[in-house]
Amino acid sequence: MMGLGADRVIVRDSVVLNPHYRTMGLFGSEYWTYVLPRRVGAEHALRLTQEALPIGAVEAVECGLADKALPGSRLDFERRVLEYAERLAADAGYDRLLAGRRQVREVDERRKPLDAYRAEELAEMSRDMFDDRGGFRLARREFVLKVKASATPERLAGHRGLSGASPAGALGHLICEIWLPVVADDYLVRIGRLIRDARQHRGWTQLQLADALATSQSAVNRIERGNQNISLEMIARIGEALDSEIVSLGYAGPMHLRVVGGRRLSGSIDVKTSKNACVALLCASLLNSGRTILRKVARIEEVYRILEVLASIGVRARWINEGSDLEIVPPSRLELEAMDTEAARRTRSVIMFLGPLMHRTEQFQIPYAGGCDLGTRTVQPHMSALRHFGLDITATGGFYHARVDRSVAPSRPIVLTERGDTVTENALLAAARHDGVTVIRNASSNYMVQDLCFFLEQLGVRVEGIGSTTLTVHGLPEIERDVDYSPRRIRWRR
């Protein structure tokens, strides 16, 4: 349902859609009471959710549920959708489209805020889950235990009425009562933030966490935004997947803290810089033929792993100033064939070698990142971004095999398919040594991306739009500078 909020909804012509939650015994969330009637009209939306019948792609386009149906295989469909999105984003009328959408949303928001739709939906969902008015408990049990259907569902078995096997009368009517919220759901938001922070700390995308939990990316997104009820069991599973104790189960000892306040706190502590920022800067040092000094580098395992990989390909790195800072000196030629693949497989950050290495050689390989043997799916967003610079990647045999076509260069803005930190950083690293201007849209604006932009500026690369989702990079074909850089400290705001 959340996809209906997009500017354009495109489906494969072979898909079957079920735009409802009724067969799960749930009223449904994700603002469907706003987006579905807006798409197909109030009357048709009521029919779709009452009858709960599947519809094909063609019918979805005809009724307004989707804008376009495209033929072809899944990979061909993904490619065509990506090309369509890039054309749309680069179109001269794109800004007018966004302005029109914002105006419509402002009018709709004044008429009825989105928070009101959300509150009503979650109140209805609460009744489904706790009062079990629609058979949610049985549906959940059968889903978890993989119970196969023993007969065609009644709503699909119209033939039974013709033979007299079922009472006269077609489908019953679903009567929905809208209730105002009576229970605060702030705790769901707080849990969602904890999960999001733990996922980002591990360097995972929502899709990777969804794969580990055998669920969908949309479900993970709802959990992180506090828009989905979540059990203690699921929280424990998420904690295990992320190697982060979000909640402690089975501990019988005392877990109380007594805090005596009323005292003025003062003093100072010496802190290191962000791990995520440091890792990106280590990879970015490969762009520079001169000496790089990074101040206050976090001495943690992820940093050590990247340093092991750098050392194996000939980069000289040493701790200076009593182990507080790091000096990096690259060789005239990287020994990529000697790369420590075991060290590289122990970190996902090695994926950020793609951007800088493509400027060093026309052919190279790196192992699958982080021991995650997912082939092209792991690197797909990176491939989509870097192919604009002529980088072609084939995933096979546990390695990403990269080839560079120097005749290819960005001819239009690059629209990232995932607003991820490492994807944005890889695009920046590729653009930094591209002799020209590169525009990157849907970029992450997180602090580690900003840190990388500030470092690139010290290398002489001009970056416009730092802190926003659109970055303009004025690259240099060669970079040879001695730089001394202090990564930005984390600043907490309240």
Active site residues: 372
Partner residues linked to 400 by β-bridges: 366, 395
b (16+ CB within 10 A) / e for 289-317: eebbbbebbbeeebbebbbbbbebbbbeb
Is residue 4 within 8 A of residue 50, CB to CB? The reply is no
DSSP 390: T
HSE-CB of 396 using CA atoms within 13 angstroms: 4
307 three-class SS: helix
56 three-class SS: strand
Is residue 36 within 8 A of residue 7, CB to CB? The reply is no
Is residue 325 within 8 A of residue 319, CB to CB? The reply is yes
238/234 Cα distance (integer angstroms): 6
Q: Work out the number of other CB atoms within 10 angstroms of the CB of residue 209.
A: 23
Type of residue at 339: M
Partner residues linked to 329 by β-bridges: 316
Instruction: Provide the H-helix boundaries in 414-446.
Output: 421-432
The helix (run of H) or strand (run of E) holding residue 284 is helix 275-284
Which distant-in-sequence residues (6+ apart) come within 8 Å of 309 by Cβ? 339, 340, 343, 344, 347, 350, 353
How many helices (H) does the chain have, and how many strands (E)? 19, 15
DSSP 351: G
DSSP 31: T
Is residue 461 within 8 A of residue 435, CB to CB? The reply is no
**Terminal-residue alpha carbon distance, the chain:** 33
Strands (E), 385-434: 391-396, 399-404, 414-415
Angle at 348 between CA 198 and CA 326, to 5 degrees: 95
HSE-CB of 177 using CA atoms within 13 angstroms: 5
